């Protein structure tokens, strides 16, 4: 038996903010800004699925190969997500599409669930809370999150944002291709059997289609504050 002094305070439960929504809705930018505002840790869970997809492709396996994807998920190294070249490869359109294929596999989702929950409940650097963004944070990963947002925007607006971002590295890309990719991903993310993208019943909806980043952040913060400090 360990002698824990009775005076030692119990660890305070981490405050979790869940931010879900479709690709290029603005959820990443908003989640990052919320984390900075509250001095919370931030986890882009999409990057985990992207890293699994890269792991499969780098091993020379087919993206549809479920056992290869599970292997990549089990060997996922969260520290690599920030490494320069790897981080840049995570962000390409091809990796995003491949990520939506492995994200539809239930055993892949199961393999990275614990790491996401660990990050949320025990945020790194002793932070008092964590902001996680993804598709199923409010519904599956952190159903007890203190505040939940579901960020969306019209598909054409999201495609335009992604097009502007991706065109910097690929001048041959067309808007129509990006829009078709976004729609294909929306369909796969929303219609898969396991943890489909969906607004949690207790999540606040925010449509960023006609908002500037500043307006969207003010609206997101107001919704989170209404939950955290009513």
| Interface contacts to ligand DC, rule CB under 6 A | 23, 45-46, 49-50, 96, 99-100, 103, 134-137, 185, 189
Place of tokens 């599956």: 140
Which letter does DSSP use for residue 13 in this model? Answer: P
- How far are the Cα atoms of 116, 134, 175 from residue 21, in angstroms, in the given order? 17, 7, 21
Closest to ligand DC by CB, 187 vs 226, is 187
Least Cα distance to 116 among 212, 213, 195 occurs for 195
Closest to ligand DC by CB, 46 vs 55, is 46
H/E element, 204: strand 204-207
What is the nearest approach in angstroms of ligand DC to the Cβ of residue 117?
12
Closest to ligand DC by CB, 135 vs 219, is 135
What is the nearest approach in angstroms of ligand DC to the Cβ of residue 156?
17
Closest to ligand DC by CB, 23 vs 68, is 23
Compute and round to an integer the Cα radius of gyration of the chain. 18
d(CA 28, CA 24): 8
What is the nearest approach in angstroms of ligand DC to the Cβ of residue 60?
21
Closest to ligand DC by CB, 50 vs 148, is 50
What is the nearest approach in angstroms of ligand DC to the Cβ of residue 3?
41
What is the nearest approach in angstroms of ligand DC to the Cβ of residue 140?
8
Please count the helices (runs of H) and the strands (runs of E) in the chain: 9, 5
């Amino acid at each position: 038996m360990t002698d824990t002094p009775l005076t030692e305070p119990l660890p305070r439960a981490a405050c979790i903010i869940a931010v879900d929504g479709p690709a290029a809705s603005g959820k990443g930018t908003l989640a990052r800004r919320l984390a900075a505002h509250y001095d919370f840790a931030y986890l882009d869970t999409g990057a985990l699925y992207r890293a699994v997809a890269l792991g499969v492709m780098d091993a020379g396996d087919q993206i549809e190969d479920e056992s290869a994807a599970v292997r990549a998920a089990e060997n996922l190294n969260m520290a690599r997500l920030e490494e320069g070249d790897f981080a840049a490869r995570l962000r390409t359109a091809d990796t995003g599409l491949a990520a939506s294929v492995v994200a539809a596999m239930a055993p892949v989702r199961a393999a990275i669930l614990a790491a996401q929950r660990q990050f949320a409940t025990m945020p790194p650097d002793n932070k008092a809370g964590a902001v996680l963004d993804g598709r199923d944070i409010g519904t599956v990963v952190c159903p007890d999150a203190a505040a939940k947002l579901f960020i969306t925007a019209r598909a054409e607006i999201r495609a335009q944002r992604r097009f502007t971002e991706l065109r910097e590295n690929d001048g041959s890309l067309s808007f129509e291709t990006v829009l078709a990719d976004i729609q294909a991903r929306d369909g796969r993310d929303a219609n898969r059997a396991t943890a489909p993208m969906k607004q949690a019943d207790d999540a606040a909806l925010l449509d960023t289609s006609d908002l500037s980043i500043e307006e969207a952040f003010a609206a997101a913060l107001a919704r989170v504050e209404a939950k955290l400090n009513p």
